[in-house]
Structure 1
């Protein structure tokens, strides 16, 4: 099995403004730990950055969040929709790396993380959602922690794609 770690939308413009996403510092620490372990195992780390009017490419808000620990060998993908595959080179990159299992973490649980996990499974990738390493902002209808728990339960209950979507705590993920 060949893995890749996808870190979705952990960017200055999404994490710096107050209030920060739920449990942001702990989530980022878990993402950093996953990235270090992935690199040690020879697993590619791919940072995905959203681009739109509020997050223009190369602007300060578009940059990766300053506490992420990156490496020169990490890959970067820019996207314009919640789907990290749509109109991006992600699938081609994963194919070139012969990846068939994605570890997914980042922001936002109910949008980009959810959409990318579903699309990945639909494309036939095994998916492991780092259950405690994705987050979102509190919403009027639900707190960030409840949104994360809901997506962990919902995504790991889908079997119709024909491949597993598992939700595991970050420290239980093995590369």
Structure 2
């Protein structure tokens, strides 16, 4: 099944300021592992960047950029978005369709917003999903710690069956690609 990798919102303004997202350095290392494996298998890697005018993630601003620790290579693709849904008002679906993509590997920030929304929308569009259970993160919230939020989304997204496509959880180290 032709696969693409979606790396959602790993951007300086969202990952660098204190307090930083839970386990962010390890999450970035795992994302680099995933994207490295994908490139070796000649699979497309998409970096999705959120933007909002007059904000820390304003297009082109230092906060909008990807962190230096995130491995980006020539040939990677970039999607600009303005909502938690990486498909809404973007050409992501068109690009994936043009490449014949049937399955997505999803990782990034924030577990309960853009990762959740994009995962559900992708499943609704018919893409099989591999959610990287240790490849997404968020910040602690008043109602729950980031580790609880991640665990909740790993547990709930992977049991949804109503989209008629699988949403499977998998650890970064267990991902294998054949191209």
Note the aligned Cα RMSD (angstroms).
Answer: 0.6
1:14 is matched with which residue?
A: 14
Q: Normalising by the residue count of structure 2, what TM-score does the alignment of the two structures yield?
A: 0.97
Shift of 1:138: 0.5
2:106 is matched with which residue?
A: 104
Number of equivalences: 175
Matches of 2:148 and 2:68 in 1, distance apart? 26
| Structure 1 gap segments, 5+ residues each | none
SS of residue matched to 1:49: strand
Matches of 1:18 and 1:45 in 2, distance apart? 28
* Structure 1 segment 21-36 matched on structure 2, within 5 A: 21-36=21-36
Matches of 1:35 and 1:98 in 2, distance apart? 19
Matches of 1:94 and 1:107 in 2, distance apart? 21
1:75 is matched with which residue?
A: 77
Shift of 1:174: 1.6
Shift of 1:18: 0.3
2:144 is matched with which residue?
A: 142
1:158 is matched with which residue?
A: 160
Which aligned segments of 4 or more residues in structure 1 are displaced greater than 4 angstroms? none
* Structure 1 segment 26-105 matched on structure 2, within 5 A: 26-53=26-53, 54=55, 55-105=57-107
SS of residue matched to 1:174: coil
